[in-house]
Structures are given as C-alpha cells and as structure tokens.
C-alpha cells in the first residue's frame, strides 16, 4: 500500500511539472531584445517565471500530500508480517517394527558382501542386480546382535540430513533373513547412507542410516575371509 501512495505522489508531481512546462510563454512579459535567438529568448522567459513555477509546484504537492494523509488515516492499520516459524518436518526415519522383529528373531540370518559396479556377472552370484562377492550364515547370537544393534544405532535422526536427497545407491552389504515362508532382504549402501528392504522379492520401503555400522559389518566379513568391494567413500 505504501508503494501505491508513493506512485500516486510521483505521478501527480510529474503531471504538474508537465503542465507547467507546456504553459505558453508570453513574449511580452520578458525584457529580452528581439534580436536574441529564439532558444535564448525562451530560456530567459522561463527563468523570469521560476518563482511562479516553484510556488505553484509547492502548492500542488502540498495538496497531494494532504489528500494522501487523509485517505491513509481512514484506512485500517497495516498488519505486520508474522515472524517466520521453522517448518515442522514430517519426516520420520526408523526400521519398521515388523522388519526389526525379523532381524532379531528370524530363523536364518545371512550377511552379504556385494560389488555395486560389476554388471557382467552370472545369475548364480546375483543379489537384486548386484554381484555377490561372498556371503556368511550368521549362527553366533552375539555376532548377530552386534550387527543388528549397529544398524539400529546408525539410524539418522537429524531432520536436516533426512531432508537431503541421496546422490547414489552403490550397496556393498546386504542382509537376508528367513523366517518360515518369509524372506526379507536389506540392501545396504553406506556410501549414500540408505537401506532398501523388501519381502519375498518385492521392495517395500527404505530407511536412512549413517556410516557408523560399516566397520562392524566389514569386520565380520573379513574374519570369515570374505572379499570386500573397493570403497569410494
């Protein structure tokens, strides 16, 4: 609204100046000799009326300002903009309860080492499109607990980090758990910090993790003499 008032004042002032500038000059009111060139004659005529121009402009500007203040006083007061509030993020990140239960209690638990960049590999060493470098059946309860706890502790909770988009998916680890007729796979990319999971070959979702569990996973695989994929992070 302030901008409208300023524009109104400016337009009125320009109109006033234009009107005064276009008023005809009466040669009889000047003392310029008839031998003066026309352009000097008109310049002198204008200079002789400078006081009248300023006086008329001042009066008209005063009238415009007075009318503007009158209109403004009749308008409701402007509402100040509210202080910006931080956005309430609706992002949540967790291992779903059913998947967590399978990780902890499923009858079978396998840990995989994957190569995310070997696309020319036979089907018998394929895991959801990634080459299997090796796999290990985890039968030791302590090792299994350490792997699951490391995965849980790696869950990202920072809302700003969760709002960023991962730039890749190059999984080098995976877990497969089998319980009765259910097979649940967790494909893990520590490089881009996310895990995709699916049941019986159908992808169901994903969650975000940091890289803190990676040394725990690598140590278990190395202890079993299983090859690890080259890292780029």
Tally the C-alpha atoms within 13 A of residue 32's C-alpha that lie toward its C-beta: 21
H-only helix segments in the chain: 2-22, 38-48, 50-74, 97-105, 141-153, 159-163, 214-223
- Let me know whether 66 and 109 are in one domain: no
Do 151 and 197 lie in one domain? The reply is: yes
Statement to judge: residues 210 and 142 lie in one domain: yes
Contacts 24+ apart (CB under 8 A), 185-189: 185/127, 185/128, 186/99, 186/103, 187/114, 187/127, 187/128, 187/130, 188/217, 189/116
Q: How many domains does the chain have?
A: 2
Question: Can you tell me whether residue 177 is helix, strand or coil?
Answer: strand
CB 197 within 8 A of CB 184: yes
pLDDT of residue 12: 55
Residue with tokens 């008329």: 56
Say yes or no: 141 and 70 in one domain: no
> pLDDT under 50 in the chain at which residues?
2-5, 7, 11, 14, 17-18, 20-48, 50-51, 54, 71, 80-90
**pLDDT for position 49:** 52
Domain encompassing residue 69? 2-74
Check: CB of residue 126 under 8 Å from CB of residue 211.
no
- CA pair distance 172, 229, nearest whole angstrom: 6
Q: Extract the tokens encoding 203.
A: 């992808």
pLDDT, position 194? 94
Q: Model-level pTM?
A: 0.59
State residue 232's pLDDT score. Answer: 83
Are both 45 and 151 inside the same structural domain? no
Classify residue 207: in a domain, yes or no: yes
Indicate whether 12 and 102 sit together in one domain.
Answer: no
**Do 54 and 138 have their domain in common?**
no
- 22 and 104 together in one domain: no
In a domain, 49, yes or no: yes
Q: Give the number of other Cβ atoms within 10 Å of residue 47's Cβ.
A: 11
Are 102 and 145 within one domain?
yes
Q: Are residues 67 and 105 in the same domain?
A: no
Inside any domain, residue 109: yes
Indicate whether 140 belongs to any domain: yes
Question: For residue 59, what are the CA distances in angstroms to 31, 47, 54, 66?
Answer: 28, 19, 9, 11
Helix (H, G, I), strand (E, B) or coil at 184: strand
- CATH code assigned at 143: 3.30.1490.410
Residues 70 and 104 in one domain: no
CA 111 to chain centre: 36
């Amino acid at each position: 609204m302030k901008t409208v008032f300023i524009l109104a004042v400016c337009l009125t002032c320009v109109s006033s100046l234009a009107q005064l500038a276009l008023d005809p000059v009466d040669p009889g009111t000047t003392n310029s000799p008839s031998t003066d060139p026309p352009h000097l004659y008109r310049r002198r005529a204008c200079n002789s009326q400078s006081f009248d121009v300023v006086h008329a402009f001042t009066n008209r500007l005063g009238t415009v300002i007075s009318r503007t203040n009158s209109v403004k006083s009749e308008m409701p007061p402007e509402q100040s903009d509210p202080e910006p509030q931080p956005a309430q993020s609706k992002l949540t990140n967790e291992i779903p309860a059913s998947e967590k239960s399978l990780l902890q209690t499923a009858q079978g638990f396998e840990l995989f080492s994957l190569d995310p960049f070997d696309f020319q590999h036979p089907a018998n060493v394929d895991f959801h499109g990634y080459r299997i470098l090796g796999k290990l059946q985890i039968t030791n309860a302590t090792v299994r607990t350490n792997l699951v706890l490391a995965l849980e502790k790696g869950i990202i909770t920072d809302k700003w980090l969760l709002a960023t988009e991962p730039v890749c998916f190059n999984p080098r680890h995976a877990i497969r758990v089998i319980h009765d007729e259910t097979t649940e796979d967790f494909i893990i990319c520590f490089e881009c910090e996310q895990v995709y999971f699916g049941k019986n070959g159908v992808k169901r979702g994903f969650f975000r993790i940091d890289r803190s569990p990676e040394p725990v996973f690598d140590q278990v695989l190395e202890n079993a003499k299983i090859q690890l994929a080259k890292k780029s992070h």
